[in-house]
Structure 1
Amino acid sequence: MTLNKIPVTIVTGFLGAGKTTLVNHVLSQCADAYIGIIVNEFGEVGIDGELIVADEQPLIEITNGCICCTVRKDLTAAVDKLIARAGRPIDRLIIETSGLADPAPVLQSFLADAELLERVELESVVAVADAHHVAQQISSNLVREQLAFSDVIVLNKTEMADADDLARLERDLRALNPAALCIRTEHGQVSVAEILGTKRFSLPHVLSIEPGLLDDEGHDHEHDDSIGSCSVEIDGALDPQLFNRWINQLVQHDGEQLMRTKGVLNLQGEPRQFHCHSVHMLLDARPGRRWRDDEARCSRMVFIGRGFAPDALRAGFLSCLAKC
């Protein structure tokens, strides 16, 4: 008897493109499916796992690093752990990689790991691109690889670009990856039928980009060492006015260096979590789910970028603590 393999969708894309928003929107359309989720976080403190609205779905975070560098060990172990934890058969698996992850080693794990191949099958790679920033980012080899290896390109945040810019972006994306399905969207709102359920992954396409992908010596991958992260976690409630003033001044003053910030916050007098995101100088903040009675109400933020001062970020965040 041949067991059905678990279909896998990999969601990739650069920092702040909208991967988590897309995953949440997909999950909201799959109430009847039991979906395992693996999230990779660049930083010591996990944020994305809390931002994903998984409800009863099994979820595992891989933090403090890049999934593409430890993929054979960490990713395989995470899949094993997720399947064991699920308690019943998983219908499918979604993996959200770090915005700094090279997709090639992730794909290599699913294509060259004999043990993993017995249980899972790669269905598609979905790359999320930020319509407001991707024109500047596409010169990066990492961003080009994320887009080139994908089967679906979700051009997100299209409300922030005019029609001519979008047409140029789509021409550039099709020139880079003519085989990919390209979808325009706002706020990651894509029909689940366009993302899940269709086998789009093509090994010949991937090997035409990276002929040595299946070689035992692995994929030659180097990080941009100029990009770093700073994580802060504090107990106690934050003063909403102090935090609002501080975060707005921060993104206006240091937005060029801070490529991405994200946080789950405990605001004084607020029974819900507060979610804060920024991509360079674009800031978004909104309430999340209610705090549970059995969880610690701490505030956590992750900052990713170049040339910032971690001590100053921590001090600024601490200065937002409520006085009473």
Structure 2
Amino acid sequence: MAPAKIPVTIVTGFLGAGKTTLVNHLLAQCSDTYIGIIVNEFGEVGIDGQLIVADDQPLIEITNGCVCCTVRKDLTAAVNELLQRAERPIERLIIETSGLADPAPVLQSFLADADLLQRVELEAVITVADAHHILLHIGEDIVREQIAFADVIVLNKVEIPSARELEQLERELRRLNPAAHLVRTERAQVSAAELLGTKRFSLPHVLSIEPDLLDDEAHDHEHDTSIGSCCMETDGAIDPEQFSRWMNQLVQREGARLMRTKGVLHFNGEARQFHCHSVHMLLDARPGRRWRPDEPRRSKLVFIGRELAGDALREGFLGCLVVQPERAPAPATESETEHP
């Protein structure tokens, strides 16, 4: 008898929708299940791998590209690596895509790999939709693709819009995808039993949306070239008041262009990480886990948006570093010493 295939859940959704928060909620509810996790990020600096609370679960982070285009081969390689290096048989896979990923080529990466399909089975595509911001981006092809391919739509941040706005939004989502199971959430809190364990993925349904899905040459996906990322890292401690002032001013001034900001920061004198998130002008910041004794206290900050002024962002970020105490003057040489 052939071994049971490993169910795969793909979590997608536009920038800042709440994908990582959802994955963390699912992992917390499935602590007895050995889950392999793959996280893909658009920029070259990885943040989400640190934000996911994986504990002893195996995790691989794919950076500096998007699994729907430039690093598609890395996705299948990452799945195979997880299956090989796991300490015990993996019971489930969760893949969190970049916020700019087109689901079709991601699905194709699995469906076109006959060897991989002997071991894994696509269970569902979950799309997280930001109830506060998604109508700003609903005209963009990538957002519409993410919604159309969803087996489940997690409508997140429903506490922000009015009841009328939510009804309008749900009508628009239903127009794009009338078949998806829709769940309303705040802070992506949803029962794992509602999202995991039910096979919702249907290849005939997907092919009705994308008839050439299995044609490898038909999916040379390209991103909107006006969208880019700016990533920065530093080992220096950050002044929390200066950083808070700078970030608040930045999102107020540049929020329309700053589609997504996320960071893991080392605040001066703090034993815990500090996590910073923003979507346009909506800013959220809170303490994270404690730094481990053997862990470098390195701050990382990533901006994703349109026509970013990278040099100005880096200058502003580095301006939040704690000013180092001035060194004591070097001992005077004999020729500089004043003799009585």
TM-score normalised according to structure 2 size: 0.94
- CA positional deviation for 1:220: 4.2
Match of 2:154 in 1: 154
- Decide whether aligned partners of structure 1 residues 72 and 319 sit closer, same or farther in structure 2, where only a CA change above 3 A counts: closer
Match of 2:60 in 1: 60
Match of 1:258 in 2: 258
Unmatched tracts of structure 1, length 5 or more: none
AA in 1 matched with 2:155: L
Greater Cα radius of gyration, structure 1 or 2: 2
Moved more, 68-77 or 20-29: 68-77
Match of 1:114 in 2: 114
- CA positional deviation for 1:285: 0.2
Q: Does 1:94 align with 2:109?
A: no
Match of 1:236 in 2: 236
Question: Aligned equivalents of 2:195 and 2:290: distance in 1?
Answer: 29
Match of 2:321 in 1: 321
How many matched pairs?
324
CA RMSD of aligned residues (A): 0.9
Question: Aligned equivalents of 2:225 and 2:197: distance in 1?
Answer: 37
AA in 2 matched with 1:78: A
Question: Aligned equivalents of 2:299 and 2:71: distance in 1?
Answer: 29
Runs ≥4 in structure 1, deviation > 4 angstroms?
none
Question: Aligned equivalents of 1:252 and 1:21: distance in 2?
Answer: 24
Aligned-pair identity (%): 75
Match of 2:38 in 1: 38
Unmatched tracts of structure 2, length 5 or more: 325-340
SS state of the match for residue 160, structure 1? Answer: coil
Indicate if the aligned counterparts of 1:71 and 1:105 stay in contact, CA closer than 8 A. no
TM-score normalised according to structure 1 size: 0.98
Indicate if the aligned counterparts of 1:71 and 1:106 stay in contact, CA closer than 8 A. no
Indicate if the aligned counterparts of 1:71 and 1:109 stay in contact, CA closer than 8 A. no
Question: Aligned equivalents of 1:288 and 1:225: distance in 2?
Answer: 33
- CA positional deviation for 1:218: 3.9
Question: Aligned equivalents of 2:251 and 2:85: distance in 1?
Answer: 40
Encode CA deviations 1:198-241: one digit per residue, 9 max, x unaligned: 00001111001100001242424221011000100001110111
SS state of the match for residue 186, structure 1? Answer: coil
Question: Aligned equivalents of 2:153 and 2:319: distance in 1?
Answer: 41
- Decide whether aligned partners of structure 1 residues 115 and 218 sit closer, same or farther in structure 2, where only a CA change above 3 A counts: farther
- CA positional deviation for 1:294: 0.6
Question: Aligned equivalents of 1:11 and 1:169: distance in 2?
Answer: 20
Q: Does 1:171 align with 2:178?
A: no
Moved more, 51-60 or 65-74: 65-74
Match of 2:224 in 1: 224
Question: Aligned equivalents of 1:61 and 1:127: distance in 2?
Answer: 20
AA in 1 matched with 2:116: L
Q: Map residues 1-324 of structure 1 onto 2, 5 A cutoff.
A: 1-70=1-70, 72-324=72-324
Encode CA deviations 1:127-182: one digit per residue, 9 max, x unaligned: 00000011121111110000000100000000111111111111111111111001
AA in 2 matched with 1:260: R
